[in-house]
Amino acid sequence: GDSVTQMEGPVTLSEEAFLTINCTYTATGYPSLFWYVQYPGEGLQLLLKATKADDKGSNKGFEATYRKETTSFHLEKGSVQVSDSAVYFCALRKAAGNKLTFGGGTRVLVKP
Partner 1 sequence: GAVVSQHPSRVICKSGTSVKIECRSLDFQATTMFWYRQFPKKSLMLMATSNEGSKATYEQGVEKDKFLINHASLTLSTLTVTSAHPEDSSFYICSATPGQYNSPLHFGNGTRLTVT
**Residue 27 binding partner 1, by CB under 8 A:** no
What lies within 8 Å, CB to CB, of 28 at 6+ separation is 2
User: Among 26, 30, 95, 111, which residue interacts with partner 1 (rule: CB under 8 A)?
Assistant: 95
Q: Does 72 bind partner 1 (CB under 8 A)?
A: no
CA dist 9 to 30, 54, 62, 87, 106, Å?
Answer: 28, 27, 18, 9, 5
Residue selected from 3, 16, 78, 99 as contacting partner 1 according to rule CB under 8 A:
99
Spatial separation of the C-alpha atoms in residues 92 and 25, rounded to whole Å: 8
Residues of the shown chain interacting with partner 1 in the complex, contacts defined by CB under 8 A? 32, 34, 36, 41-46, 49, 51, 89, 93, 95-97, 99-100, 102-105, 107
